[in-house]
Amino acid sequence: MVNDPYAHCPRLPEEGQINLDELFSDPPVDQVSAPKGPIELEIGPGRGWFTIERLEAEPQVRVIGLEIRRKWATIVDERVKERGLGHRGRIFAEDARLTLPRFPENSLGRVYVHFPDPWWKKRHEKRLVLTSSLLDTLTRLLIPGGELFVQTDVAERGDQYQAVLDDHAAFEPVAGGPRIADHEFIARSPRERKAIEYELPIVRLLYRNKKS
């Protein structure tokens, strides 16, 4: 039998609506309670440094990451716990498109999608994450005024994401947006760091959920 090093990868409950508060570990003994309220979601964190840096920079923030690659979900979730951040951050080995419909309404304050969709062949289109169907789901999950941030260093993809977001009735650009020069999240994704290092132009899009 082949030994699967990621057989124990972190997974979400298999059925029913997911109670997000129950996903976090207990807070460390020197902290009476963990922060409550809307949670931030990262779709496809990959090697995970955005989530870790964000948790370290903002003690009031909780972040859930959904990463389809079991290896990276396992490694990053362990890293988060080793740094004493498991009461505010978790990464799960899940396909965001399949699991987000089971997240509760108005549970997310912000959603990050950094450099998604690294597929270019027509036959891989079914793998695309940022589609109008995902936006329909996010509309329900985001609180009123909740934000969706998307960035890419592929110009055509930036145009495509902007078009799908501009067409969606539930989202509106933030003031001065949707294209913003930089963000204020005090964290960088691994791909973002590389793009900055190589001076690649980055399209950064920031929208709000119009729901009232």
Ligand X SMILES: C[S@@+](CC[C@H](N)C(=O)[O-])C[C@H]1O[C@@H](n2cnc3c(N)ncnc32)[C@H](O)[C@@H]1O
Q: How far is the CB of 145 from ligand X (least distance, A)?
A: 24
Q: Which residues are catalytic?
A: 117
Q: Which of 191, 203, 206, 209 binds ligand X (CB under 6 A)?
A: 191
Amino acid, single-letter form, for residue 140: R
Strands (E), 85-185: 89-92, 108-114, 142-152, 171-173
* Separation of alpha carbons 80 and 198, rounded Å: 28
Q: Cβ distance 10 to 66 under 8 Å? A: no
**Residue 66 binding ligand X, by CB under 6 A:** yes
Q: Which stretch binds ligand X (CB under 6 A): 5-13, 112-120, 155-163, 171-179?
A: 112-120
For ligand X, the binding residue among 23, 190, 210, 211 (CB under 6 A) is 190
User: According to CB under 6 A, which one of 34, 38, 79, 97 is a site residue for ligand X?
Assistant: 97
69 binds ligand X (CB under 6 A): yes
Q: For ligand X, give the closer residue by CB, 48 or 178.
A: 48
Cβ distance to ligand X smaller for residue 138 or 169: 138
Neighbours of 133 (CB within 10 A): 11
Q: How far apart are CA 151 and CA 50, in angstroms?
A: 13
Residue numbers 30-49 binding ligand X by CB under 6 A? 43-46
CA distance linking residue 155 with residue 176, whole number of Å: 20
Q: Which residues in the 160-189 window bind ligand X by CB under 6 A?
A: 189
DSSP H helices, 85-189, are 96-99, 132-141, 155-167
Residue 65 in contact with ligand X, rule: CB under 6 A: no
Q: Which is nearer to ligand X, 24 or 92 (CB)?
A: 92
